[in-house]
Amino acid sequence: MLELIKANLGIILATLGAVTAAIGGILGSTLGVGKAGQAAAGLVSEQPERFGNALILQLLPGTQGIYGLVVAVFIAMRAGLLPGGAVEVSVSQGLQLLFAAFPMCFGGLVSAIHQAKVSVSGINTIGKRPEEFGHCMLMASMVETYAIFSLLISMLLIFGVNVG
């Protein structure tokens, strides 16, 4: 068993990297979209006509999950985990891929949760002042900037790993 792990340590670390990126982004988005969804449902109970706007604000913290997915699949692709691309991954390359997943994991997790908080406040605001929708959307997207940067850093680092 130990021998087996030792022989495949590179690819195992790369897999762990893909998993890390996916978990961070998806966990954050699940928490975020869930929390914003509660607020949106509450608003719709009083003002059903605000459903469209509330849904958009609810969806905004959902992108981190997608970024996590993208980074995870990209790592899997580089490490030859997807069909049609078996490559040799050294331990150092595996470690690089694992570390490259960290920005997306933590950046995605934390930014989604905090973006959801802004979304929730925004949903409450459009209940009282529907004309403020644009501003509320903009404020929520401010937080998302950092998820985007996380995605970018992770992707650039993965591009930089010379596998195969």
* Contacting positions for other proteins (CB under 8 A): 56, 59-60, 62-63, 66-67, 69-70, 73-74, 82-83, 133-135, 137-138, 141-142, 144-145, 148-149, 151-152, 155-156, 159
Smallest distance, Å, CB 40 to other proteins? 15
Closer Cβ to other proteins, 41 or 156, answer by number = 156
Closer Cβ to other proteins, 16 or 59, answer by number = 59
C-alpha radius of gyration, the chain, whole number: 19
DSSP string covering 10-33: HHHHHHHHHHHHHHHHHHHHHHHH
Closer Cβ to other proteins, 7 or 156, answer by number = 156
Distance, CA of 40 to CA of 153 (rounded, Å):
32
Nearest C-alpha neighbor of 102 from the set 12, 16, 39:
16
Smallest distance, Å, CB 148 to other proteins? 5
Nearest C-alpha neighbor of 14 from the set 92, 105, 94:
94
Closer Cβ to other proteins, 120 or 151, answer by number = 151
Smallest distance, Å, CB 67 to other proteins? 6
Secondary structure letter of residue 82 according to DSSP: S
Closer Cβ to other proteins, 7 or 145, answer by number = 145
**125 in the Ramachandran plot: left (φ > 0), alpha (ψ -120 to 50) or beta?**
alpha
Contact status, residue 39 vs residue 122, Cβ threshold 8 Å: no
Smallest distance, Å, CB 122 to other proteins? 12
Smallest distance, Å, CB 151 to other proteins? 5
